Structure 1
């Protein structure tokens, strides 16, 4: 099988498409023929060494495809069944071994590319809008990077729950995409987000800020919040936020700050299935629009990473084996 492999053991980083032996599923594992693999920021961190890997290693962790074979003890999955997963190392490949506990069935009406595009980012949007902060009618939310993969989905989930949404984007073209996803107002650039948040809320500030940008937006995000508002820092595309004095939260109105991860909101299979059932149900019913920004062959995995890091994309990027 062909797979995108990273190696730095001989010096500089090398990313190649390599022929590897097809794997066999062990106990509790499912062998899947990959039809689409999701490209995520964490993949770039693993490629560059920010998140260490035992090298050489096959990149990728998210995707969708058809079950080829199941290992001992696996129940509920059959050959040919369309499935998706958010965490299976080695997903940039024609085949991948996925723990059965991580696999979710894909309902009728959702194809493999859509499932691969929505699962990780859609689950992120789901927990952010339902549990990290229970958005509802009357809520004002500020979403940075509103035209990105998570941003477009998060905006839609917030609107499904009745919230008001202000987003920030980097270009006028991305502003149109964000409005099409349901944003009530859009700011091009980050500098004007605090002032606009105050204007839209009569000076009070928004209830919650969802910030995946990090270093470049963190201060403005805090300033956009109402007293006792919640700052949700769930990424750092511009760099990690440096240490800061927590007394700032007190001074700005007893603010709350959280740094959530998806793993904490899918702690067991029951929670994973509950979230994916609702998420994929929205997609199948046409209530959630999943935007695939670009697709790339395995050979162009590096270009996909560069496009993602260079903020040259909107929606989800996929590799198609």
Structure 2
């Protein structure tokens, strides 16, 4: 089978395609023929930041072709989606049964990949903000794989006004079509009228204007891998708060919450209220191009590999 790997840190140019034997599922694992693989910013960053090469994991959807010992609830031929922590950029991947969920009838593998992580992260970050009806929301990276779902979910949860913050004006039409009332660019001097909560997927230098965009008693949910710091005084003067959110922690420590959110996200999708958008599909041998799109923040919607 084909697999994408890298041997040294760097950018997309470090990726290469290799031929390796298909893996055998171990206890509790499913062997899945990959139909769609999600490309995410955290994985893209790992290639530049990891001290040692690590497997390129992430979101995968496809067909179960073999079962490991002890697996129950799944059968060969089932279509599943989930998070792969080993090698995920491959024709065949190992998915732990505990991290798998069925792909509902009528849903494509690409849609499943867009929802399995990005949709759940967007929904979880929104829940962490404790949204109330008729509040105003601001979403950074609003055109990204997570952000374009977060702005839709904010509206579904009752936001009366949704502001989309994006890296450039060329993304404005895209986010407006998804329901944004206002669009601001990161370099704007002001992000408009204050909001009740911010869902921040960028971090770094954007934390300061994101906090400034909050109304008194506002909440900022930070779920970016980009780091950054917030001045305590900036929180104190407006009684504002910053809330950290990490989906992996919820999945491990609150599995019942994770399952409930997953069911709710699928329900939003199947009833047509949540619409994942795919920026572009790339073949497996063009993984470097897919990573370049993410690094340059050129995507509007999800970037997907389709073996």
Q: How does 1:148-163 map to 2 (within 5 A)?
A: 148-163=144-159
Deviates more, 1:275-284 or 1:96-105: 275-284
2:143 aligned with 1:147 = yes
Structure 2: gaps (5+ residues): none
Residue of structure 1 in register with 2:75 after alignment = 78
2:208 aligned with 1:208 = no
2:217 aligned with 1:258 = no
Deviates more, 1:310-319 or 1:135-144: 135-144
2:19 aligned with 1:19 = yes
Residue of structure 2 in register with 1:174 after alignment = 171
Q: How does 1:54-73 map to 2 (within 5 A)?
A: 55=53, 57-73=54-70
Which string of whole-angstrom CA distances, capped at 9 and with x for unpartnered residues, describes residues 187-215 of structure 1?
24442443x1x2xxxxxx21111111222
- Cα distance in 1 for partners of 2:255, 2:183 equals 37
Whether the 8 Å contact between 2:282 and 2:290 is mirrored in structure 1 is yes
Question: What is the alpha-carbon root mean square deviation over aligned residues?
Answer: 1.9
Name the CA shift for 1:179/1:84 in 2 (closer, same or farther; >3 Å).
same
2:250 aligned with 1:249 = no
2:256 aligned with 1:270 = yes
**Offset at 1:52?**
4.4
Whether the 8 Å contact between 1:62 and 1:116 is mirrored in structure 2 is yes
- Cα distance in 1 for partners of 2:171, 2:132 equals 25
What secondary structure is seen at the aligned counterpart in 1 of 2:303? Answer: strand
- Cα distance in 2 for partners of 1:172, 1:120 equals 27
- Cα distance in 1 for partners of 2:222, 2:274 equals 24
**Offset at 1:63?**
1.0
Name the CA shift for 1:52/1:63 in 2 (closer, same or farther; >3 Å).
farther
Residue of structure 1 in register with 2:227 after alignment = 240
Q: TM-score, normalised by structure 1?
A: 0.89
Which string of whole-angstrom CA distances, capped at 9 and with x for unpartnered residues, describes residues 39-81 of structure 1?
0011112212x2445x4x5423211001111111111111111
Whether the 8 Å contact between 1:147 and 1:177 is mirrored in structure 2 is yes
